[in-house]
């Protein structure tokens, strides 16, 4: 759009493909199309994007955004902070709604209960698992740990190990307190 004018500006450019998207030896080569705004302090409002090959065939799916953001992935290589939720539960709420945030919270609470007061509390791994899970949840109040796949794997691995933790085999069973006869 023209600043303050309210009129749309149409831009067109020809691009040599140089074999992009052609077949590879074993697998097809993937081609990505991206749009970037490198201007600081300026907004870019895009209404429709089309990429047409020499035979007139449309190469982009959902270029008019009629299906919302389907087939589009928004990211930022240089200024990523606006895309971070900066809170683990807010991240799950934005990504998966209330059901995702609630499911994650219930799994985390169940895992913590299991290793602190539940059936796995006497296992040698209970304390380290509780500490690791609490540390992740503590950091998760101020940052979204699940943006990094390795941290996500660690967190869910710790949660599911904690949920499956049992007391050590061969450990003496807890006994009921004895009652003294009057």
Q: DSSP assignment, residue 21?
A: T
Joined together, the tokens standing for residue 7 give 């009129």
Joined together, the tokens standing for residue 177 give 């307190």
Q: Domain range for residue 142?
A: 84-164
Pair 51, 3 in one domain: yes
Strands (E), 113-156: none
Nearest to 144 by CA among 95, 100, 87, 73: 87
Tell me the pTM.
Answer: 0.56
Contact 146, 91 (CB under 8 A): yes
pLDDT score at 2? 55
Sequence-distant (≥ 6) Cβ neighbours of residue 96 within 8 angstroms: 103
Q: Which residues in the chain show pLDDT less than 50?
A: 1
Helices and strands (H and E) in the chain: how many: 3, 0
Cα–Cα distance, 91 to 26 (Å, whole number): 38
Cα–Cα distance, 49 to 76 (Å, whole number): 19
Cα–Cα distance, 59 to 17 (Å, whole number): 12
Contact 93, 104 (CB under 8 A): no
Pair 94, 148 in one domain: yes
Pair 76, 114 in one domain: no
Pair 89, 50 in one domain: no
Contact 42, 36 (CB under 8 A): no
pLDDT score at 1? 46
Q: How far is CA 71 from CA 47, 62, 74, 78, in A?
A: 15, 7, 10, 22
Pair 78, 14 in one domain: yes
Contact 33, 46 (CB under 8 A): no
The number of distinct structural domains making up the chain is: 2
Pair 93, 50 in one domain: no
């Amino acid at each position: 759009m023209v600043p303050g004018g309210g009129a749309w500006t149409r831009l067109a450019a020809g691009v040599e493909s140089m074999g992009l998207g052609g077949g590879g030896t074993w697998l097809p080569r993937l081609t990505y199309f991206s749009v970037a705004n490198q201007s600081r302090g300026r907004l870019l409002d895009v209404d429709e994007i089309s990429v047409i090959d020499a035979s007139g065939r449309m190469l982009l799916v959902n270029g008019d955004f009629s299906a919302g953001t389907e087939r589009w992935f928004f990211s930022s290589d240089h200024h990523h902070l606006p895309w971070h939720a900066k809170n683990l539960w807010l991240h799950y709420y934005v990504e998966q709604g209330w059901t995702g945030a609630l499911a994650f919270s219930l799994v985390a609470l169940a895992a913590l209960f299991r290793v602190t007061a539940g059936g796995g509390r006497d296992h040698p791994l209970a304390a380290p698992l509780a500490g690791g899970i609490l540390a992740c949840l503590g950091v998760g109040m101020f940052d979204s740990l699940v943006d990094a796949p390795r941290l996500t794997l660690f967190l869910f691995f710790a949660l599911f190990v904690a949920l499956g933790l049992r007391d050590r085999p061969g450990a003496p069973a807890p006994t009921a307190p004895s009652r003294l006869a009057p």
